[in-house]
Amino acid sequence: MSALQKILYVEDEADIQAVAKLALEMVGGFTVKVCSSGEEALREAEAFAPDMILLDVMMPGIDGPNTLVGLRKIPALATTPVAFMTAKVQPQEVASYKALGAKDVIPKPFDPMTLADQVRRVWSS
Amino acid sequence: MAEKTSSHRMTLNQSDRNTLPSSAGIAGHLSNSSTLEDSLLHSEQARVLYGGLPLALLFNVLLSTMLVTVMWPIISFNLATVWLLLMGVALIGRLGIYVWYRRKNSRLPATQWLKIFRITIIASGLVWGAAAYAFFPNENITYQVFLAFVIAGVSSAAITSLAPDRRSALSFIIPALLPLVYHFANEGGTMPFSMGLMVLLFLVFLSAASVRLEKNLRENIYLRGQALEQRNALRENEQRFHYILDTCPTAVRISKTGFFEVVYFNQSYVKLLEATPDQVLGINPIKYYVNKEDYADIVKELGNGEAVFDRLIELHIPEQPDLPHKWTLATYLRIEYQGEPAVIGWFHDISERIQMDRMKNEFVSTVSHELRTPLTVISGSLGLLAGGAITGLPDTAKQMVDLAYKNSLRLTRLINDLLDMDKLAAGKVELNMQTMQIMPLIEQAITENKNYAASRHVGITLSSVSPETRVVLDSHRFLQVMANLISNALKFSPNAATVDITVVVKDKNLRVSVIDCGMGIPAEFHGRIFQKFSQADSSDTRPKGGTGLGLAITKELVERMGGQIGFDSVEGRGATFYVEFPIGDM
């Protein structure tokens, strides 16, 4: 497994996009591509060829879990590590995300200074 | 319904049932029979005596006519006429009281009717006895035998109809038979004497039989009364049972075993299902079960002779798909209903509670999401500024950003604490228990608190005598426990102090202690330190913030992981909080 560099971040909230992108790029030094919806992610993910994908859960249109299902159908992304970033972290919710194939869940609100470390930990776990 | 029940209650009380004698003790009981039983006996005696009157009168008419006809050649016309007239008067008198009894039965008590009957039966007996005086043919054995045969026959027949009342029986047979005995005795000779003796013995035998028959009747009446009372008691119990079920606020239904068709349901049951009675009665209840497997499981358990208690069951009426489903806690017991094996089901409607739980879960989930989304942005932005990811802020602005960031974290903790407490209270905290070394987790907890420790200018030390020891824990929740204990210790430590964390083996447990040298815990607060919303200083101006939920949550989490929590503290000399977990693998 090569180093974690390219992250696809799918989030509909523009403000959170900005904070997370900043945290991941400035603190973590990653290359981040942000998609504002599941549809956009499904359209552009393959071309971006991310090392890891971060997905919000509640989004208009295709939500996070369905986006994950769609991404898994793209051969190039079938094994790309995926983590959900969400405030919906009740035990049964977390269990359902993991059942879909997510590696882990990063709860919101996240600490921007340690977010990059968290993502790295999930990626390498 | 209530009036109906109370009227039934009057027919038989519990003490009556409890004093029922055994059949062997009936005779003794009869001698002390109550007024109620006597009254019942007298009524029954009167009913039987008067009921048998028409047949007895017909018999009397036939026999008296036959007697006079057969003996006509040897008796005087005048005597025969007088005797027939007397017999006619006696029979008409008895017919009269019969008609009177039938029409005005309720006018007189049974004892009066019996007295009237006895008077008329004495008259009838005297008339038959008079036949012996009037028609006894001296020295004509053939007619003597015929006369004796007729009078003895009448007496025998009378016993059958008069048996219920020995006084009536004796009132008839004694005056009817004694004159015959007298005449045979006076006739002289062995044959008449023997016949007289036989008639006398017959009289004694009939008298004894009448006494015995009346006794049997009394027993019979008593037993019938008891049977009636028991039937009433049974009916009363059944009515009480139905009354309780009918008015029970819990839905109840009874279904027969076999096809399990519903044979009884109460109002609460149809109300629960919002069904009409014909949608319920005679129908196998499986159709109401949303999950047919639930029904199959219950039938199986009942079939194994087990009772089923408090099973969560979802019910609906398929014909009414628009109606919301009902959630019930159901209990099933095998019973006997109307003499057949059956199953009684009790359904406690908890739909509202389930609905409320769902709404609450949705609310908690929504609030959690809606609050956390802006908080993510606020604390994220401030965190980047405060953490130095973005540089170039003037010092004063940096100071303000630090303050804002610190408080955004505080708000996050507050929301997390409230949500955690809610989940703990609802028993919805799921634990992922695994065997693991505890030291890496403690080190991670210290790392996560380093920034806070630095901001408070407090150091953290860690010492362990058994770093390899393994315990069974949920790592995420243990980190939460340690975060709470460490942040509390940091919060209450003075400037430049140190928080010491020690890990030791104590008996068969691993003890992790977090030791601070802060102001300690006042003795009066020791008893409620782990209670929700508890803080030693609850004044509006208390210097340390917090929700007062941290230690309550910590205690709950530790105990759910199989550990225990405690503390030692003297006010003014700091505090030591410790958690202990059993050493060992899963």
What's the gap in Å between the CA of A100 and the closest CA on chain B? 18
Contact A19 B381 (CB under 8 A): yes
Each residue's pLDDT, cut to its tens digit, for chain B (586 residues) gives 333 333 333 333 333 333 333 333 444 444 444 566 677 778 888 888 999 899 999 999 999 999 999 988 888 888 899 999 999 999 999 999 999 998 887 788 888 999 999 999 999 999 999 998 888 887 788 888 888 899 999 998 888 888 888 889 999 999 999 998 888 888 778 888 888 888 899 889 988 888 888 888 778 877 887 888 899 898 898 888 888 888 889 999 999 887 778 999 999 999 998 888 888 888 888 888 999 999 999 989 998 888 999 999 999 888 888 888 899 999 999 998 888 899 999 999 999 988 887 887 778 767 777 787 888 889 888 988 888 888 888 888 888 888 888 888 878 877 877 777 777 777 777 788 889 888 988 998 898 888 889 888 999 999 987 777 889 988 888 998 999 999 999 988 998 899 999 999 888 889 999 999 998 988 888 888 888 766 655 443 344 555 678 898 899 999 999 999 999 998 888 999 999 998 877 5
Reduced 3-state DSSP string for B382-399: HHHHHCCCCCCCCHHHHH
- Strand runs (DSSP E) across B350-417, as ranges? none
For chain A, the first-to-last Cα distance in angstroms comes to 12
Asked if A12 and A18 count as a contact pair (C-beta separation under 8 A), the reply is no
CA angle (B271 as vertex; B268, B275 as ends), nearest 5: 130
Tell me: the pLDDT tens digits for A38-97?
A: 999 999 999 999 999 999 998 889 999 999 999 999 999 999 999 999 877 777 788 889
| pLDDT of the residue at B469 | 81
What's the gap in Å between the CA of B569 and the closest CA on chain A? 34
The burial class, CB within 10 Å (0-12 / 13-18 / 19+), for B28 is exposed
Distances (CA, A) of A66 to A7, B125, B151, B191, B366: 19, 110, 112, 125, 20
Contact B369 A88 (CB under 8 A): yes
Count the neighbouring beta carbons within 10 Å of the beta carbon of residue B478: 25
- Chain A residues with CB under 8 Å of B378 CB are 109
CA angle (B406 as vertex; B400, B412 as ends), nearest 5: 135
Q: Give the whole-angstrom CA distance, residue B517 versus residue B370.
A: 39
- Chain B residues with CB under 8 Å of A87 CB are 368-369, 371-373, 376
- Chain B residues with CB under 8 Å of A112 CB are 379-381, 383-384, 387, 389
Q: Give the whole-angstrom CA distance, residue B122 versus residue B171.
A: 5
Count the neighbouring beta carbons within 10 Å of the beta carbon of residue B582: 14
What's the gap in Å between the CA of A105 and the closest CA on chain B? 12
- Chain A residues with CB under 8 Å of B560 CB are none
| pLDDT of the residue at B27 | 42
| pLDDT of the residue at B37 | 66
In this structure, the dihedral spanned by the alpha carbons of residues B300, B306, B310 and B311, taken in order and rounded to 10 degrees, is -10
What's the gap in Å between the CA of A78 and the closest CA on chain B? 28
Size of interface A-B (CB pairs under 8 A): 78
| pLDDT of the residue at B12 | 31
Contact B369 A58 (CB under 8 A): yes
Two tokens, residue B498: 């140190």
Q: To the nearest whole percent, how much of chain A has pLDDT over 90? A: 71
| pLDDT of the residue at B546 | 59
Whether pTM > 0.90 for this model: the answer is no
Chain A's closest residue to B422, CA to CA, is A90
Nearest-CB residue to A15 (from B377, B390, B430): B377
Q: What is the DSSP code (8-state) at residue B561? A: T
| pLDDT of the residue at A53 | 97
Distances (CA, A) of B200 to B107, B168, B205: 40, 18, 9
Tell me: the pLDDT tens digits for A5-19?
A: 999 999 998 989 999
| pLDDT of the residue at B97 | 92
- Which residues 54-113 of A are in CB contact (within 8 Å) with B? 58, 86-88, 90-93, 95, 108-113
Q: Give the whole-angstrom CA distance, residue B84 versus residue B227.
A: 46
Q: Give the whole-angstrom CA distance, residue A80 versus residue A46.
A: 11
Q: Give the whole-angstrom CA distance, residue B168 versus residue B49.
A: 9
